[in-house]
Amino acid sequence: MTLCSICGKEKAVIKIPYEGKYLCKKCFKKYFVEKAEKTLKKANVFSNSSGKLFVVATSGGKDSLNALYVMKTLSKKYGFDVEALLINEGISGYREFTIKALIKVANRLNVPYRIVDVKKHFGFTIDEAAKLFFEGKIEWKPCTVCGVIRRYLLNKVSREMGASYLVTGHNLDDDLQTAVMNLIRGDFQALIRGGVVVKAEHPKLVPRVRPLHYIYEKESLIHSIITELETPYVECSYAPYSLRWNIRELLNKLEAVESGFKYRLMVKIDDLRERFSKYKVQKFTECRLCGEPSAKEICKACEIKLRIMKVLENA
């Protein structure tokens, strides 16, 4: 039996690969919140945070429920408010279960929550968009449509809620996969915009923060189990069709050969981001149709909406 490297008394439940530590349940729970706190503190998120509103984008999955738990815990120390926001994309066999999980955890933590339907705002669900993709009627994969629409609604609704920050549950694995995807696509601007804090580059953009940026997916899973953040652990059925899915497999293989590889690569990429931050050039304007921030005259969400509605009307 391996004992906890911190208390030396209890049985270890997890190994932290990049620190060479073994932790028991109790010490890991503390470690998890402190790690997130350190990450946000280093990025200056808590200076003047008292009285501000942090809206947590909560899908009801393990990572975003962990983010909600961490922010609620830290809110007592730093004096900010926390609310949860869930975007219901309309993905059957998945979202209905995680909505239940969010409601249960939000009630337990005493956090107000808001649920926003994609169908109501855009006129179609992601299931409908996915069907059109598989029939060859649109070129965007389900994850592309889902990602654009989720980001759009999270920003718009959290801004309307009065958020100073939009918190997301991206863990180290997610952020590393995104960085590698951006590298593969040669999207240097997207690569340097990532990190713990994504600053607002337009008055209508809410700055985004990622408390779990240095926390492995495996750590996130174990934390959600030991803190009893009950979630059904279902994956979206469209995930295997994405580039991300393959990158995830590749990075996991490399981690299996070289423990701590993912953490070290993430730190290196963040270091690069800092050095190259002065080369950020993306300028935002406002979408001619909806008025939301956009890099082009018409935002991607409106472009997708117009196209899908047209295909649906002609069906």
Task: Give the residue, chosen from 148, 215, 299, 304, that forms a contact with Zn ion under the rule CB under 5 A.
Answer: 299
The set of long-range contacts for 136-144, using a CB threshold of 8 Å and a minimum separation of 24, is 137/311, 138/307, 138/308, 138/311, 140/304, 141/238, 141/241, 141/242, 142/238, 142/241, 143/238, 143/239, 143/241, 143/242, 143/244
Nearest-approach distance from CB 62 to ligand FES, in angstroms: 14
Tokens of 100: 């239940």
Instruction: Give the integer Cα–Cα distance in Å for 25 and 12.
Output: 7
For the segment 221-240, give every residue that binds ligand FES (CB under 6 A): 236, 238-239
Could you tell which of Zn ion, ligand FES, none binds residue 293, using a CB distance below 5 to 8 A set by kind? none
Instruction: Give the integer Cα–Cα distance in Å for 262 and 258.
Output: 9
Could you tell which of Zn ion, ligand FES, none binds residue 143, using a CB distance below 5 to 8 A set by kind? ligand FES
Instruction: Give the integer Cα–Cα distance in Å for 24 and 13.
Output: 5
In degrees and rounded to multiples of 5, residue 223 shows phi and psi of: -65, -40
Nearest-approach distance from CB 48 to Zn ion, in angstroms: 32
Whose Cβ is closer to ligand FES: residue 106's or residue 126's? 126
54 torsion bin: left (phi>0), alpha (psi -120 to 50), beta (else): beta
Nearest-approach distance from CB 12 to Zn ion, in angstroms: 50
Count H helices, E strands: the chain? 12, 10
Q: Are 102 and 112 in contact (CB under 8 A)?
A: no
Nearest-approach distance from CB 94 to ligand FES, in angstroms: 7
Place of tokens 């949860």: 84
Task: Give the residue, chosen from 37, 242, 269, 302, that forms a contact with ligand FES under the rule CB under 6 A.
Answer: 242
Nearest-approach distance from CB 288 to ligand FES, in angstroms: 27
Whose Cβ is closer to ligand FES: residue 126's or residue 304's? 126
Task: Give the residue, chosen from 198, 243, 289, 312, that forms a contact with Zn ion under the rule CB under 5 A.
Answer: 289
Nearest-approach distance from CB 298 to ligand FES, in angstroms: 23
Place of tokens 């951006």: 182
Whose Cβ is closer to Zn ion: residue 10's or residue 201's? 201
Task: Give the residue, chosen from 287, 300, 304, 308, that forms a contact with Zn ion under the rule CB under 5 A.
Answer: 287
For the segment 269-298, give every residue that binds ligand FES (CB under 6 A): none
**Alpha carbon 270 to chain centroid, angstroms:** 17
Whose Cβ is closer to ligand FES: residue 55's or residue 126's? 126
In degrees and rounded to multiples of 5, residue 85 shows phi and psi of: -135, 125
Nearest-approach distance from CB 292 to Zn ion, in angstroms: 5
Instruction: Give the integer Cα–Cα distance in Å for 10 and 1.
Output: 10
Asked if 12 touches ligand FES (CB under 6 A), the answer is no
Q: Are 21 and 15 in contact (CB under 8 A)?
A: yes
Place of tokens 């509605």: 309
Q: Which amino acid is it at 217?
A: E
Instruction: Give the integer Cα–Cα distance in Å for 162 and 63.
Output: 23
Going residue by residue from 124 to 143, which x/- string records binding to ligand FES, judged by CB under 6 A?
--x---------------xx
Whose Cβ is closer to Zn ion: residue 275's or residue 288's? 288
Nearest-approach distance from CB 18 to Zn ion, in angstroms: 41
Whose Cβ is closer to ligand FES: residue 243's or residue 312's? 243
| Residue ranges binding ligand FES (CB under 6 A) | 126, 142-143, 146, 236, 238-239, 242
| Residue ranges binding Zn ion (CB under 5 A) | 287, 289-290, 299, 302
